[in-house]
Amino acid sequence: MRSIIGKIARCLLWLLLGWFTLTVGAVLLLRFVDPPTSAFMVRDRFDAWWNDEPRYQFRHSWVDGDRISAQLKLAVIASEDQKFPDHYGFDLASINDALEARENGRRVRGASTITQQVAKNLFLWPGQNWLRKGIEAYFAVLIEAFWSKRRIMEVYLNVAEFGRGTYGAEAAARRFFKKTAAQLNADDAALMAAVLPNPVRLRIVSPSMYVKSRQTFILRQMRGLGIQTVKEL
């Protein structure tokens, strides 16, 4: 019996070591190598194929961070994660607020940081269960440990979905504004950031009143933060 338990323990230890080596290696590699795709892109394309969507069109074009408008970097910080330049992967105050809201039966506002969203988009799947959130947190720790904030923002703006099948700032800028990501102005950037919570339901083209109100709010937050917020990004 003890020998069986010992074998199981050794097997689990090797599996854990393999997982750690694989995940750390992947995160380290992506510090230097631009990811050609992401878990969310693969899932999206598979779903379109599986459901036989003839009108589906996949768009993605990687661009370096210095070819993305500073206004878009500021907009996503203003809307998604205002503490991004200073935190280490987690906004503890927002997490605490979300937990309190859940306990009081109120609608829970997302508390994911940009780092966590990069982890989710690159490696994971949609959902809110504790297993996925735990793995997301693990990858967020690795990303913060091995990447710079500049790299995190660069990857985020290249893998984020801005519309059905449209991933990354360059593809979105060309599809919705007929310009490059470097040419996006503050209004364009705020509108793109406004749809990030749900880029399939919320639309950049013919935006709803809700999206327009989010755009206005984000523009106000951008002015409050100031462009110097993203000078290192």
3 lies in the same domain as 48: no
Query: Do the Cβ atoms of 215 and 204 come closer than 8 Å?
Result: no
What is residue 84's DSSP assignment?
A: T
The tens digit of pLDDT for each residue in 156-205 reads 999 999 999 999 999 999 999 999 999 999 999 999 999 999 999 999 99
Domain that holds residue 150: 35-230
Contact partners, residue 32, CB within 8 Å, separation at least 6: none
Average pLDDT, the chain: 90
95 lies in the same domain as 153: yes
The tens digit of pLDDT for each residue in 122-158 reads 999 887 788 888 999 999 999 999 999 999 999 999 9
Domain count within the chain: 2
What is residue 108's DSSP assignment?
A: P
The pTM assigned to this predicted structure is 0.90
116 lies in the same domain as 175: yes
